[in-house]
Amino acid sequence: MVGSSAAPILVVDDNDETRDVLQRVLQIKGYVTAEARSGADALRWLRDGNPTCLILLDINMPEMDGWSVHAALKSDPALAGIPVIVFSGVDGDGKIEDIVAYVRKGVDPNQLLALIERTCGPGSAVTGSRSPLRS
């Protein structure tokens, strides 16, 4: 198994199928996961003090899009250092600063897993463990 981070990877996507598939793939590789169906849910979970080693963030979500979530993360000193990989079906629109990577949905899963391993694999500074968030 590749994953060894005790802190979960937070998967933020309003599409149930996408979220479930990502979580299954990550869990098979040994990662702990948490999920949020919306940007607001993700921010609430993080602000409740739950650790995460990485956020996989969709852009097109109702109510609060991924760019708004990213801006909220960067404006909160307690959350600003959390690495973010945008995983979306839309183009980046030049808003790619302060993220680990912008990955288009449909990418080879091994490419995404390689990015995740470099960001959240062995040696990750974030510790702790939580159950998946279901809302």
List the domains of the chain with CATH numbers: 9-120 (3.40.50.2300)
Average pLDDT, the chain: 83
Structure-model confidence comparison of residues 128 and 6, the more confident one: 6
pLDDT single digits (tens) 91-120: 666 566 788 888 888 888 888 899 999 888
Mean pLDDT of 60-68: 91
pLDDT of 16 strictly over 80: yes
Question: What are φ and ψ of residue 88, in 5° steps?
Answer: -145, 165
CA–CA gap between residue 58 and residue 86 (Å, rounded): 6
Q: 47: how many CB neighbours lie within 10 A of its CB?
A: 12
- The pLDDT confidence band at residue 128, using thresholds 50, 70 and 90, is very low
Q: What are the strands, taking DSSP E only, across 23-129? A: 33-36, 54-57, 84-88, 101-104
Q: What is the pLDDT of residue 130?
A: 29
pLDDT of 131 strictly over 70: no
Kindly state the helix (H) or strand (E) to which residue 64 belongs, with its residue range: none
CA–CA gap between residue 129 and residue 52 (Å, rounded): 8
> pTM value?
0.84
Structure-model confidence comparison of residues 123 and 58, the more confident one: 58
pLDDT single digits (tens) 34-44: 999 999 999 99
